Amino acid sequence: MSGRLRWRKFVSGFMLTMTGVCALVAVSVLFFILGYLVYHGGKSISWSFVTKLPTPVGETGGGMANAIVGSAKLLLLASLMGVPIGFLGAIYLAEFSGSKVAFVVRYAADLLNGVPSIVIGIFAYSLVVLPFKHFSTVAGGFALGLMMIPITLRSTEEFLLAVPRALREAAMALGASKWKTIVTVIVPAAYRGILTAVLLAFARVAGETAPLLFTALGNRFWSPGWNQPTASLPAMIYAYALAPYDDWHRQAWAAGLVLLGLILVINIVARAILARGIAVPRA
Amino acid sequence: MITFLFAASVVLVTLLLIIELWQESALPRHKFGLHFFVTQVWDPIAGQFGALPFIYGTLITATVSLVIAVPLGIGAAIFLAELAPARLSDALEFFIDLLAAVPSVIYGLLGVFIVVPLMRDYVQPALKNTLGFLPLFSGPAYGIGFLTAGIVLAIMVIPYIISVSREVLMSVPRDQREAALGLGSTRWESTWNVVVPFARTGIMGSIFLALARALGETMAVTMVIGNTPTISASLFSPGYSIAAVIANEFTEATGDLYLQALIELGLVLFLLTFLLNGLARLLIVMTSQRGSGTAHA
């Protein structure tokens, strides 16, 4: 073996090993984050964390019950807004639209998807907070719902388009109307994919903080109804992490663990649903 | 036809967003014009608003993050696409996707309690001792600042670079690799001289995508950048970014001019990410059309 060849083989082996190291570093970050959160959050999570209100400043103890309920309310509103619009919009794109309209809608959805979340917050502020003159759960839910629309729309459309033509034609040939075909054949055939899309969109907005800062604002007490400022888990993590109290830091870790756990579980479930195969016979 | 209304509402909302940002920032646009972008006095009490420190902070942190994330991300993508067996590659990709799902406030939390102390006590003093003659690495080590924000951002955008680059690399036709190997290249030469150049535009696309993410990122940056409107050559210095100043000052903004100056910053951020996202999608589509496989942006 000549020296030149030996050198080339050495470079090849070395560089390829380095790419492996890069991959290892990237993946180990995930396990580091998880491990650290479980370690610190696990120490501070307790029954009172999920059942009690935050204590007044300076007192230790208390929990984030109001933030957990607040987050649930915000996400409910967001889903009520984002899922129908995204889902029905996707049906229009996949089943009815001409290519020109579809291009415009897709373009708008991609644009919306790329908007930084803080800018979504500004938009929700001027559209919902200003006219009603106060921060509210509704405004926060609107901001999060807005972020759900493009994610749900684009992936649902993809799964609808993946349904084989033969199924559509079979339904039509049996005399089913267009609507009947969509409701009884196409959507059931693509439902795993659609469910995955909705779950991923949900998980994505569940951790969003920036759009809530000046829509839902925050609250140290229960937020009755839908028209008051409300606490939420991500906003609490932000506020507590930057506060100068050790007890608040511990609670921020616990909240982080709850939030990350929720998001990762949803993600894994969504991917598991998809991995079991879309219930469509291959054409 | 109901479905049409829902589809149309997506377009409508997007248009409304742009109109709203444009109209609500009319005051500072007329008052300061282009001076808004080149002056650096941010004094709400005197009614002087210059965005330069925030634009500078946003660009610097994004640059630092790319300098770290691009080599790491592309290296990992090459490993996943070229070297790892399909099973391992899919398993690792699963973890990378989970990493992309971690919310930014969690990265901020880890940034505040892990990265900042680490930077202050170990990394920054070490950099100062070895490369302190460069203006980049001078000044006191606070822990918070441009460098720390850049590192946290890098951790956040790496999954995006890996996912997209991996898909683009995998869409490079097999014959390209076989031809290179058949001509006697080593494995690395075939990868670096043939496969990577073939996928070049798509990889660029993934980088622009990551850049757009880094520019618009709010929470993690706000928590570690220091929130001081300064322009300094030193990466150790605390700074401010566009998204961070909006997050911190929006609820406290008194007076229309102040609020609208913040909204104009939002408009700037929107336009920046809009351009980058468009460019990224174009590049990714261009490569996947050249290859035989498909890659989704």
* B102/A241 CB distance under 8 A: no
| Eight-state DSSP code of residue A56 | P
- Each residue of A98-135: pLDDT tens digit? 788 888 999 999 999 999 999 999 999 999 998 988 89
DSSP E strands in chain B: the ranges are: 42-43, 48-49
The whole-angstrom distance between B279's CA and the closest CA on chain A is 12
Could you say which of A92, A204, A213 has the minimum Cβ distance to residue B7?
Answer: A92
Using a 10 angstrom Cβ sphere, with 0-12 exposed, 13-18 middle and 19 or more buried, the burial of residue A4 is: exposed
Nearest C-alpha neighbor of B56 from the set B213, B215, B212: B215
- Each residue of B122-164: pLDDT tens digit? 999 899 888 888 888 888 888 899 999 999 999 999 999 999 9
Confidence grade of residue B181 (pLDDT, cut at 50, 70, 90): very high
Do B193 and B185 form a contact (C-beta atoms < 8 A)?
yes
Tokens at residue B210, please?
A: 């990551």
* B155/A253 CB distance under 8 A: no
Nearest CA in chain A to B15: A108
Q: How far is it, in rounded angstroms, from Cα B291 to Cα B194?
A: 13
Locate tokens 């640059």: which residue?
B63
One-letter amino acid for residue A78 of the chain: A
Q: Would you state the pLDDT for residue A1?
A: 66
Q: How far is it, in rounded angstroms, from Cα A172 to Cα A181?
A: 7
- Each residue of B24-55: pLDDT tens digit? 999 999 999 888 998 888 988 888 899 999 99
Locate tokens 């890069």: which residue?
A22
Locate tokens 């609808």: which residue?
A160
Longest Cα–Cα distance of chain A, Å, equals 80
Could you say which of B14, B114, B217 has the minimum Cβ distance to residue A111?
Answer: B14
Quick check: A262 contacting B, CB < 8 Å?
no
Q: Would you state the pLDDT for residue B296?
A: 40
Q: Is the dihedral of CA B220, B225, B230, B232 positive or negative?
A: negative
Q: Would you state the pLDDT for residue B150?
A: 96
* A127/B16 CB distance under 8 A: yes
Q: Which ipTM value was assigned to this complex?
A: 0.90
CA distances to A155, A159, A196 from A272, in Å: 16, 16, 9
Half-sphere exposure (CA, 13 Å, Cβ side) for B149? 33
CA distances to A110, A205, B55, B74, B205 from B278, in Å: 9, 23, 21, 21, 9
The rounded mean pLDDT for chain A is 90
Q: Would you state the pLDDT for residue A24?
A: 94
Nearest C-alpha neighbor of A145 from the set A216, A250, A69, A55: A216
**What does R_g of chain A's alpha carbons equal in angstroms?**
24
The pTM assigned to this predicted structure is 0.91
CATH number attached to the domain at B53-290: 1.10.3720.10
Contacts of A111 in chain B (CB under 8 A): 14, 274, 277
- Each residue of A208-226: pLDDT tens digit? 999 999 899 888 888 888 8
The residues in A 121-150 lying below 8 A from B, measured between CB atoms, are 121-123, 125-127, 146, 149-150
